[in-house]
Structure 1
Amino acid sequence: MVLTLYIDTIAIICCMSLIVLFFVSMFCNPFLRARRLKKWALQAAEKEVDTTDTAAAPVSIVIPILEDAPELAATVEMMLQQEYAAPFRVILVADKGNALVERLSAENKDNKHMYCTFVPNSSRYMSRKKLTLTLGIKAADTDWVVILEPTCTPLSTKWLAALAPSLATDNRLVVGYTALEEDTRTSWRYQQLRSSFYILTRTLRGKTYRHAGGFVAMRKTDFMKRDGFSGNLNLLHGEYDYLVNKFGDDMATTVALHPETHTLTKAPTKKEWINKQLYFWETRKYLQGGWFSRFLFNIDNIMLYLNYIVAILCLVYGVIEERWLIVSVASANILLTVLLRILFAHKAIKVFNVDLPAWRVIGFELMVPWRKIRSYFKYLKTDKYEFTSHKL
């Protein structure tokens, strides 16, 4: 009798643990928590883009160019073709002697929407990227400035018009979503999508922490009054993360969610992808308010693995001991976990119209924490002078 009660108690504990872990792990999922992001994105997609609104905010688009960018010509062409009734100007900022920029400048010398400026040859105590961005923002003759990478291209000639409603009087900073080209590794594209959901969901909740990719729109007056990149001048990378973190007022930052505001960036090389992860480990030291984002990321992965591990252990135990109730509940836990996570991923993919196979999310999300750990150990081994312009 005692033995039977003991076994029944084990069955109850196993089944209750499986049920609790199942529900907790379901909610520890960035795709499920992003209900506001998905709702607002769907609402934004239903709105027509007004390309005739002459009352829209005048905009300057700053494109910093530090090296050869084959995609630049296509990006500039797309920007110059924008259907935008209000004044706008594309500002290219590059080193003197950049052949492509000088050619584009000559070809568009009579185009009122185009302006080129060049960077001095030396900048000892400031990264070239930050100097380039600073000069571009100072050259803007509008309050709203959109910063766009040369490798990041809008997908529509209505991009500025779709962005215009976000450039409202009470907003100070606007961020958007960018996707990686389809020939990028699928796991990288998934990681980009998942990371964007973490960042943009927090941004919509009034907690700006870092940049999700794509573009940053901000006010020139804010940049000038608050000394631009001061406090971050020595870092060679992390410009956009720092801008969003410093100038992203919790009550005046918004996310542009209309599909026409999406951008596409070129597929990174393996070296570029790895370096991007390494650079962020250094950049995050200079960012404020990131503890909760890191907590969410860690708890999501812990609960994901804990649920799978407990379910597999209970399944093995149930089979060995012929406890079929435990086997049934453990099997249901694993099956429902897999199916629901695929379903949540599918809905998230549809939000941003990303061409990703939802069923592969299971393997990808299990790899994410291990890739994070691997990049951290690689960062620890990297010479820290690689991240700074102050080499003395």
Structure 2
Amino acid sequence: MNIPQPNTLEIIALSLMGFVWIWQFVFLLRRIRPVALYQTEAPISESLPPVSVVISARNEAKNLEKFLPSVLEQDYPEFQVVVVNDGSEDETDMVLARFKAKYDNLYYTTIAPDKKFYHGKKLPLSLGIKAAKHEHMVMTDADCQPSSEEWLRHMVSSLIQQDKELTLGIGNYKKEKGLNNLWLRYDTFTIAMQYLGFALSGKPYMATGRNMAYTKTLFNRTKGFKKHIYIASGDDDLFVQEAATKSNTAVCLNSKAHTLSVPPRSFKKWKEQKQRHLSTSAHYSTGTKSPLIMEPLTRELFWTLTVIFIFFPNFATIVLPFSLLLLLFKLLLWKKAADKTGMGKIFWGLFLFDIIQPIILGFIHFENLTGSKKRKWK
């Protein structure tokens, strides 16, 4: 087969495609493969230490009424649940008082509303951690429900069996009908695979505050959220960046250890949530930010160049087989990762969202950089 000599523009396009293909392949191999090939977690420890669950709640009366019993009734030898009512203006305090009369393992305290002084989630969390009686602690949110009665057993076992100080769990959205819900769960899945894969490959950089565990000693040694207390978000990812190392961090992938959250009811609500979460990424280290920027950028270039080369039949026979190979490799890793984490067939969302996800996240990042609206925890 005679292939004509490429001109300068074609050489640039082919070279760029080669770089993009290699970068994406190495990223998948290095950062996602550890999740896909993760060995089955050890059985639940027979000797479990007492643990404190810490929850910060603001205007969460309905969610607490619905989900708090599933936390309070965990199958665990000895644990307390600490809820900090952060200036709620609904019936949160009344709900907690009713539960306190029923559950001996519930402790709660209230921060009085103060319209003159705004504070983020870190203040109530710090107060909850200070009130926690036990060394080992698990963090979650008021709108979260453990996926099973063994949630605490799995999270704490992953923390103590390898003598770790920090465990990264998975916070998923409840499965519902509709394209919006599929998008929410796919985005959550890909982000989880990324931060879990980074942790398993020795570079932990974030967690989800909906499901993480750490020791009081680690929190105190890191001086809590002191270095970034002025930032509304970051009680999970910025704390992990300060406290986590490749030797003190574990992951918990078991499907019984997930937390399930009420999904935002619209794309707009999800976007507002995402803006708050992404606002902390500007404070990441350069070593963390670089691959997190390069991944979506090279992914979008990969798809763009693949489409472009379809219209260059002389080179399509060279480029397209490599594109197909990369796609199949990614799909295989995504499937295995979904199986390991019990997240079902969500990996098929790759065909719907893999191209548009970088664009959507890019626009949100751009709005965060150019907008002046303060992102507050609600």
TM-score band, normalised by the shorter chain?
Answer: 0.7 to 0.9
How far is 1:299 from its partner? 3.1
- Counterpart of 1:372 in structure 2 is 361
- TM alignment of 1:181-330, pairs within 5 A: 181-183=174-176, 185-212=181-208, 214-269=210-265, 270-287=267-284, 289=285, 291-318=286-313, 323=314, 326-330=315-319
Instruction: Report the 3-state secondary structure (helix = DSSP H, G, I; strand = E; otherwise coil) of the residue aligned with 1:34.
Output: helix
For residues 1-25 of structure 1, what are the alpha-carbon distances to aligned partners after superposition, in whole Å with 9 as ceiling and x for unaligned?
A: xxx98x5544998998699568526
Q: Deviations over 1:197-216 (max 9, x none)?
A: 22111122332222245322
Deviation at 1:218, TM superposition (A): 1.8
Structure 1 window deviating more from structure 2 (25-34 vs 353-362): it is 25-34
- Please tell me whether residue 58 in structure 1 is matched to residue 54 in structure 2: no
CA 32–181 in structure 1, closer or farther in 2 if over 3 Å, else same: farther
Assess, with a 3 A threshold, how the Cα gap between structure 1 residues 49 and 372 changes in structure 2: closer, same or farther: same
Question: Aligned residue for 2:372?
Answer: 383
Cα shift at 1:339: 3.8
Give the aligned residue type for 2:225. Answer: F
Find the aligned partners of 1:48 and 1:204 in 2 and give their Cα distance.
19
Shift in Å, 1:271? 3.8
Report 1:140-219 matches (<5 A). 140-168=132-160, 170-183=163-176, 185-212=181-208, 214-219=210-215
Cα distance, 1:18–1:127 mapped onto 2, change above 3 Å: closer
Count of residue pairs the alignment pairs up = 369
Percentage of identical aligned residues: 23
In structure 2, relative to structure 1, the CA distance for the partners of 1:166 and 1:331 (3 Å cut) is closer
Other-structure match for 1:352 = 341
- State the one-letter code of the partner of 2:166: L
Q: Is 1:72 equivalent to 2:64 in the alignment? A: yes
| Alignment-derived partner of residue 123 in structure 2 | 131
2:22 maps to which of 17, 21, 24: 24
Alpha-carbon spacing, 1:381–1:305, altered in 2? closer, same or farther (3 Å)? closer
One-letter identity of the residue aligned with 1:133:
L
Residue identity opposite 2:37 in structure 1: K
Q: Compare CA radii of gyration and give the structure with the larger one.
A: 1
* 8 Å CA contact 1:119, 1:135 repeated in 2: no
**Alpha-carbon distance change, 317 to 223 in structure 1, aligned in 2, over 3 angstroms:** closer
Q: Which moved more, 1:355-364 or 1:180-189?
A: 355-364
Structure 1 segments unaligned to the other structure (5+ residues): none
Q: CA deviation at 1:120?
A: 3.3
Letter in 2 for 1:198: Q
The structural deviation recorded for 1:258 is 2.4
TM-score (norm 1): 0.81
1:338-362: CA deviation from partner (whole Å, max 9, x where unpaired): 4443333322322222244544313
- RMSD in angstroms over aligned alpha carbons? 3.4
Relative to the length of structure 2, the TM-score reads 0.84
Instruction: Note if 1:88 corresponds to 2:79.
Output: yes
State the alpha-carbon separation in 2 of the partners of residues 19 and 241 from structure 1: 33
